[in-house]
Amino acid sequence: MNDYYKNINKRIKEYFDILEPDYPHWLDEYINTEELLTQRYISTTCGTIYSDLFESSFFYSSLDHSVAVALIIWHFTHDKKQTLSGLFHDIATPVFKHCIDFMNKDYMTQESTEELTTKMIEKSSDVLELLKRDNIKLEEIDNYHIYPIADNDTPKLSSDRLEYSLSNALFTYPLLDINSVREIYNDIEIQKNEYDEIELGFKTKKMARLFVKVTSKMSVIYREDRTRYSMQFLADIVKRLKEDGLITIKELYDIKEEDFIEMINKSKYGNVFNIWRKAKKVKTSSIEPKDVYFVHLETKVRYINPLVNGKRIYDECKIAKKMIDKNLSYEQNNYVYLNEIKDF
């Protein structure tokens, strides 16, 4: 059997040790099931690490993210059901992750693939046997939205939102070092919000403000010109491969990204794909460009306005308020293109 935890990258292991110093090895049997291990081959960056438009080439997988979310939930709740809901929340993640949401015209919510979560778990006899053994019902772990520590609505802080913020800032867009991640994480506790709901929150304004500074920068990165272009571009390549009969929707959930990239390179889209991979900067225009492939759309706004001692940092700190307002004012009006890529 593959053993995920014994083979993880040392940097990721160091990060996991912060999230939960006493690693819960009861999770291993669930992690090492075929359906979850498939997520080792999908990057959390939605394919962007494969282009020189982006600085990072660090491969942080969808499974790494899911395990990290589970560790955060376990750290704060020690509840197996909530922890497993976090572990399985992205089990229905296909190749290039949220790019498939763009293909499905779901770029504003980016949740179109989540509908398959239950089906993906149900088809795993190994997972179902483990749940039966542990006296846990499928409906108690197949929807992490029912647990506010695992997931909640923007701009609240949940384990999922906390995890991708910390890991992206550490590995993908290096805005934090490992010691800063530790400082931020150790300042978090469960608090009550303005709706009398439990939510992760900060003990100090200093750490809440640092978190807002970093996540506000990343929020813009998630929807800036190069990102919107890349995600729609990859979505359109996937769509065309599907229309050409070279891949099915089902296969998008089984194929490794490296194998899918090889498929693209062997197809008639290999040339434009490699132009995108080697590009250093996208072009923008306020008017529709002619004779080129372009992207012109708005995407989901991911931002966090965390609690600090039960109150929103936005209301408690003028500096944080300014950072959040600047983030939310970022416009997505440009037409984005590369001169070398025509319609394909």
142-188 pLDDT tens trace: 999 999 999 999 999 999 999 999 999 999 998 999 999 999 999 99
The tokens for 12 are: 């990721």
**120-135 confidence digits (pLDDT tens):** 999 999 999 999 999 9
286 bridge partner residues: none
The C-alpha atoms of residue 156 and residue 203 are separated, in whole angstroms, by 15
Are 116 and 92 spatial neighbours (Cβ–Cβ below 8 Å)? yes
Query: Could you tell me the domains of the chain?
Result: 5-224+301-328 (1.10.3210.10)
Instruction: Kindly indicate the confidence band of residue 276, based on its pLDDT and cuts at 50, 70 and 90.
Output: very high
* DSSP at 291: S
Q: Which residues of 95-116 are buried (b: 16+ CB within 10 A; e: fewer)?
A: bbbbbbbbbeebbeebebbbeb
Does residue 108 surpass a pLDDT of 60?
A: no
Is pLDDT at 104 greater than 90 in this prediction?
no
Contact 44, 63 (CB under 8 A): no
Q: How confident is the model over 204-251, as pLDDT tens digits?
A: 999 999 999 999 999 999 999 999 999 999 999 999 999 999 999 899
Amino acid at 231: M
Coil, strand, or helix at residue 245? coil
pTM listed for this prediction: 0.95
pLDDT reading at 333 higher than 90: yes
Say what the pLDDT of residue 99 is: 87
Separation between Cα atoms, residue 189 and residue 194, nearest integer Å? 16
